[in-house]
Structure 1
């Protein structure tokens, strides 16, 4: 009779939406990703076998599963059929992927197991272990294999490098990123009037710049694109680099709205910047977000790069990826309902808005549907 597993390491991601845990009993060691309570209705725990500590069974360890214990991996799928020594807690570390929806566990700095972020969204979850050598179609775990055969090696190496860059106090990343964005924004939208930190003192640094030109007030975020968004690599696969990073923008006509209304709308925008990581979701063209900060009759915003009709903006790249600039355009209740009536309804709403000569600059207007 086992005393239950021992937790060797436990670490949450920066938004506490997921917790990574390595557990070990006298038979096996496992790596788990648990969604936090708020996420647990939407997402399920993901598991990754790491090693057997006793001789492996010849066939699937169904008895352990029925018992509620973590199953051992079949001996012929292990590089240690006779079992391996227990893991030592002080040699373990966790690295979260930049999206913060997947993670890897390292042992003496070498990758031991990986649960990729896309596994969270898939009906067929996948995990990869260094000590696994094979498996069948419904395997507990897949071999991590070598770097030439499995891109997980590169993903983990990128995650480790990314975290090290941000931990390096000698060469801070943020001032360089900040300058790039401010310079580009100033070229198009006038001098930087005000600068607001919108990261609640959490990593990564994020800010909102206020600019003014031709009686229009512009608010543009910077730093949101430091992290790629969750979900996108699962939805777009090889095309993900074109969709996974974004900044948000808002342009408001001073002729149409009071100073107080403008300030409130900007507050609404700054609260949206962290949504993908707070909710393990993503934002893209045609997505709508409710906001209590909008003047009536507006009650939500729709995000769009297509509504922008100014001169082209050459956004800085972020870690080799394109950065999308989405303009927030307020919409009414009926417009939002129209967008939600069918798949890709947000695109249809945007088409109607463009036909009605609605641009990225927010003005008073009547509902168009």
Structure 2
């Protein structure tokens, strides 16, 4: 009779959308990544074999799979064919990758297993274990972690540990400097900051929005969203993901066309959008639309675009060596949003039509473009 698996460690990511846990029975130990209930229809649980505690089977452990128990890794693929001692809970540590969609488990400071974030987005689960020595064909549960020279997971986990350590001090010394750099950048373009709003709901990371005014246009620009790279992007863009994985949001509204109350409600919608990638395990990019109940009729969504901007060119400060994209939000009607959703990249098409009809980053009252 197999012993019921014991949870040795469990930890949620920053927004509690995913949970990482290490479980161990009398045969094996595994790292699991499983979605919270709200995400469970969109994402599946992911598993990473960590070690066998008994002598390894010669062939694939089909019996365990049929019984619904965690399978052992077969002898030819593990570096401890006769089994290893059970893991000790006090030596385990879970490290979330900065995107918050993947995790690693360390044992006494060394990487034991990794489930990369992009494993969530592919049909076949992918994971890496230090004690796996190889695979062949499709006859495997896990891939070998190998060494730092052959597997970039070492660098990713190292960056995640350094990132976590940088922000784990009570003083958060990194934030005042980031804040100052972004405010200086914005003030050079739009004049003195008039108001500062914290938009992080007292959750990490710190995020804020500044209000500026220039030539009868009110500007709102976020800062801090770009501290974290967005989920999905490394999977979608692979080697070029550094150019797309960080963003901040902006809103510019013509004061002559909207009331103060309407302008502030639009700004509220931007503030809530800044955390969407991590609350929903998604990403924001050019042509994406986001619904909002805070917009004046007939608008019901915002479309995001850097192409709408037609002011004096400026670049945001880099974040951790990455480019930071600034997306301007522009209100669209239900019909326009539905047009954008009709087909892949429909948002680009909608933006092209809007730009042809003289829409810019400055929000003014306009007729529907369709």
TM-score bracket relative to the smaller structure: over 0.9
Give the Cα–Cα distance (whole angstroms) in 2 for the partners of residues 341 and 231 of structure 1.
22
Aligned length: 369
Give the Cα–Cα distance (whole angstroms) in 1 for the partners of residues 55 and 104 of structure 2.
25
Give the Cα–Cα distance (whole angstroms) in 1 for the partners of residues 220 and 136 of structure 2.
53
CA drift at 1:171: 6.5
Could you say which residue in structure 2 is the equivalent of 1:87? 87
Could you say which residue in structure 2 is the equivalent of 1:312? 313
Secondary structure of 1:248's match?
strand
CA drift at 1:3: 3.0
Q: Quick check: 1:148 aligned with 2:149?
A: yes
Q: Quick check: 1:9 aligned with 2:9?
A: yes
Could you say which residue in structure 1 is the equivalent of 2:205? 204
CA drift at 1:170: 6.0
Could you say which residue in structure 2 is the equivalent of 1:286? 287
CA drift at 1:136: 1.9
Task: Name whichever of 10-19 and 162-171 sits farther off.
Answer: 162-171
Give the Cα–Cα distance (whole angstroms) in 1 for the partners of residues 182 and 156 of structure 2.
27
Q: Deviations over 1:12-66 (max 9, x none)?
A: 0010000000000000000000000000000000000000000000000000011
Q: Quick check: 1:239 aligned with 2:240?
A: yes
CA drift at 1:168: 2.9
Give the Cα–Cα distance (whole angstroms) in 1 for the partners of residues 55 and 3 of structure 2.
19
Aligned pairs for 1:56-95 (under 5 A) are 56-95=56-95
Aligned pairs for 1:125-144 (under 5 A) are 125-138=125-138, 139-144=140-145
CA drift at 1:135: 1.1
Q: Quick check: 1:54 aligned with 2:54?
A: yes
Task: Name whichever of 161-170 and 222-231 sits farther off.
Answer: 161-170
Q: CA RMSD in A?
A: 0.7
CA drift at 1:169: 4.0
Could you say which residue in structure 2 is the equivalent of 1:39? 39
Could you say which residue in structure 2 is the equivalent of 1:218? 219
Q: Deviations over 1:334-357 (max 9, x none)?
A: 111111111110000000011001
Give the Cα–Cα distance (whole angstroms) in 2 for the partners of residues 341 and 160 of structure 1.
42
Q: Deviations over 1:157-184 (max 9, x none)?
A: 0000000011134661000000000000
Could you say which residue in structure 2 is the equivalent of 1:364? 365
Could you say which residue in structure 1 is the equivalent of 2:255? 254
Q: Quick check: 1:270 aligned with 2:290?
A: no
- Normalised to the residue count of structure 1, the TM-score between the two structures is 0.99
Could you say which residue in structure 1 is the equivalent of 2:166? 165
CA drift at 1:2: 1.6
Structure 1: 5+ residue runs without aligned partners?
Answer: none
- Normalised to the residue count of structure 2, the TM-score between the two structures is 0.99
Give the Cα–Cα distance (whole angstroms) in 2 for the partners of residues 265 and 221 of structure 1.
13
Secondary structure of 1:252's match?
strand
Could you say which residue in structure 2 is the equivalent of 1:325? 326
Give the Cα–Cα distance (whole angstroms) in 2 for the partners of residues 342 and 69 of structure 1.
42
Give the Cα–Cα distance (whole angstroms) in 2 for the partners of residues 308 and 192 of structure 1.
20
Give the Cα–Cα distance (whole angstroms) in 1 for the partners of residues 31 and 344 of structure 2.
36
Q: Deviations over 1:131-152 (max 9, x none)?
A: 0001123210000000000000
Give the Cα–Cα distance (whole angstroms) in 1 for the partners of residues 348 and 213 of structure 2.
29
Could you say which residue in structure 2 is the equivalent of 1:298? 299
Secondary structure of 2:234's match?
helix
Give the Cα–Cα distance (whole angstroms) in 2 for the partners of residues 5 and 334 of structure 1.
52
Q: Deviations over 1:162-216 (max 9, x none)?
A: 0001113466100000000000000111110000000000000000100111110
Structure 2: 5+ residue runs without aligned partners?
Answer: none
Q: Quick check: 1:337 aligned with 2:338?
A: yes
